């Protein structure tokens, strides 16, 4: 029975079909054999890369609010200070205000001799009235065609000239008594009774020190940090302090120093005698989120910028440029970083930005690189403080 089945099978399969079946079987055997050989000879690529990744130590750093101040050296000036000048010539007849006396705006300071200016004023008034009468009469005659239009125009010009002369004479008499330009104090006398003065000669100095003006120069790299309205603490050389507010920051730098002019309005309720002296200005800047590291963690980037190296969530090294806010014995306080990052504390010098690394997270308090520095405290900006 078996022999007859085999004979029937050989008779039912052609040589061509048999060759195709054998070829397919051979191809399947070769494919299965290559796959098994590859698995036996080499480990997966991922296992190989994990063994060769560089290992670094890291710790988490959390940014904290940092109150900053810009420290500048400047000087204090009176809020207003004017030298009252003579505007007419004459002899000083009387000093109406003494040095140190308070004056109100428009109050007479001294009396100059008249030098005939009052008589000139009376004459100017009389001429002005005369010219007005002449013009009024001519206009009445013009209605009857007894006066030409040109005559009317000439008389109008005479009236205008007489009015200008009258105004000048009134001012000349007014200048016999120079007045205070604003509320303040007479700071200095520059003339004495009996002294003869000419126009533009200084007579008295009037100052207003109920408010003061603190001025300073801010370096160009720090100018954008200061704005109008920021609070300022002013420390005097004797240790006393005043408070003020930024009143003005110039838009253009001084071409000689490349620094910007800053003006601060300072309250002086007790009228301290400090105008003209030097002072230290501490401008209170808006707080920033800052990190504090050991200076050993700061490195230069490819472009020469100072920065810190950290690891992202994918285990790749990132170089973050930073700006140093303060450098003290407690560490380097920097800004420009994310609020939270995994900073490399050991091995940063052996890896490059973009490189994949293996990380070992060091718990807080176990760092051996002096990166566990003290908490952030208020610090002035570097390079701006001077000895007080």
What pLDDT score does 288 carry? 82
What pLDDT score does 16 carry? 63
* Residue 338 pLDDT > 70: yes
What pLDDT score does 87 carry? 95
As a whole number of angstroms, the distance between CA 278 and CA 238 comes to 11
What pLDDT score does 253 carry? 92
For 235-240, the CB contacts below 8 A with 24+ separation are 235/279, 235/280, 235/282, 235/388, 236/76, 236/274, 236/277, 236/279, 237/277, 237/278, 237/279, 237/388, 240/272, 240/274
CATH architecture of 71-77+209-287: Beta Barrel (2.40)
Higher per-residue confidence, 91 vs 11: 91
Residue 368 banded pLDDT, cuts 50, 70, 90: very low
41-45, 89-93, 285-289, 320-324: which is most confident: 89-93
What pLDDT score does 372 carry? 47
Residue 67 banded pLDDT, cuts 50, 70, 90: confident
* Residue 158 pLDDT > 80: yes
pTM of the model: 0.61
* pLDDT tens readout for residues 95-112: 999 999 999 999 999 999
Of the listed ranges 21-25, 78-82, 130-134, 360-364, the least confidently predicted one is 21-25
Higher per-residue confidence, 368 vs 233: 233
What pLDDT score does 383 carry? 42
* Residue 80 pLDDT > 50: yes
Helix spans in 92-148 (H)? 117-143
As a whole number of angstroms, the distance between CA 356 and CA 337 comes to 21
| Unique residue bearing structure tokens 């200016």 | 117
As a whole number of angstroms, the distance between CA 86 and CA 108 comes to 13
* Residue 321 pLDDT > 50: yes
* pLDDT tens readout for residues 254-285: 999 999 999 999 999 898 999 999 999 999 98
Percentage of the chain lying above the pLDDT 70 cut: 81
Residues of each domain in the chain carrying CATH 2.40.30.170: 71-77+209-287
Please state which of the four CATH numbers 3.30.70.1450, 3.90.1150.10, 2.40.420.20, 3.10.129.10 is assigned to the domain occupying 54-65+288-380.
2.40.420.20
Mean residue pLDDT across the chain: 84
What pLDDT score does 361 carry? 84
What pLDDT score does 93 carry? 96
What pLDDT score does 286 carry? 83
Residues of each domain in the chain carrying CATH 2.40.420.20: 54-65+288-380
* Residue 386 pLDDT > 60: no
* Residue 381 pLDDT > 50: no
What pLDDT score does 279 carry? 95
What pLDDT score does 44 carry? 55
What pLDDT score does 200 carry? 95
What pLDDT score does 9 carry? 46
DSSP symbols for 133-193? HHHHHHHHHHHTTSS-HHHHHHHHHHHHHHHHHHHHHHHHHHTTS-B-SSSEEEEEE---T
Give the side-chain half-sphere CA count within 13 A for 337. Answer: 33
What pLDDT score does 387 carry? 35
As a whole number of angstroms, the distance between CA 42 and CA 100 comes to 99
Strand order in the sheet with 196-197: 110-112, 90-95, 196-197
* Residue 78 pLDDT > 50: yes
| Unique residue bearing structure tokens 């003061």 | 212
């Amino acid at each position: 029975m078996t022999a007859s089945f085999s004979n029937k099978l050989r008779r039912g399969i052609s040589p061509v079909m048999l060759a195709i079946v054998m070829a397919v079987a051979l191809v399947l055997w070769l494919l299965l054999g290559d796959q098994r050989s590859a698995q036996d000879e080499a480990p997966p690529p991922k296992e190989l890369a994990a063994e060769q990744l560089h290992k670094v130590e890291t710790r988490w750093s959390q940014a904290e609010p940092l109150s900053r101040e810009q420290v500048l050296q400047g000087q204090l000036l009176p809020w207003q200070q004017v030298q009252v000048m003579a505007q007419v010539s004459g002899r000083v007849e009387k000093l109406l205000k003494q040095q140190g006396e308070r004056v109100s705006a428009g109050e007479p300071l001294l009396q100059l001799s008249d030098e005939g200016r009052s008589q000139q004023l009376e004459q100017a008034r009389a001429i002005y009235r005369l010219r007005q009468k002449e013009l009024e009469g001519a206009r009445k005659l013009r209605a009857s065609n007894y006066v030409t239009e040109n005559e009317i125009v000439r008389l109008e010009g005479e009236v205008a000239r007489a009015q200008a002369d009258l105004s000048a004479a009134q001012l000349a008499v007014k200048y016999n008594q120079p007045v205070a330009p604003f509320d303040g104090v007479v700071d200095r006398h520059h003339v004495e009774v009996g002294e003869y003065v000419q126009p533009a000669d200084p007579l008295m100095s009037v100052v207003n020190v109920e408010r003061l003006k603190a001025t300073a120069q801010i370096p160009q790299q720090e100018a954008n940090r200061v704005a109008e309205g920021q609070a300022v603490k002013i420390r005097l050389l004797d240790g006393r302090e005043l408070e003020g507010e930024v009143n003005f920051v110039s838009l253009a730098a001084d071409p000689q120093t490349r620094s910007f002019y800053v003006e601060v309005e300072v309250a002086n309720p007790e009228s301290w005698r400090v105008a003209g002296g030097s002072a230290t200005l501490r401008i209170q800047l808006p707080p920033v989120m800052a990190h504090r590291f050991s200076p050993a963690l700061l490195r230069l980037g490819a472009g020469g910028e100072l920065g810190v190296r950290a690891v992202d969530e994918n285990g790749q090294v990132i170089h973050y440029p930073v700006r140093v806010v303060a450098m003290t014995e407690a560490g380097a306080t920097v800004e420009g970083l994310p609020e939270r990052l995994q900073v490399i504390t050991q091995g940063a010098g052996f890896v490059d930005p973009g490189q994949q690394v293996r990380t070992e997270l060091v718990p807080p308090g176990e760092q051996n690189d002096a990166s566990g520095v003290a908490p952030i405290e208020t610090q002035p900006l570097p390079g701006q403080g001077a000895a007080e």
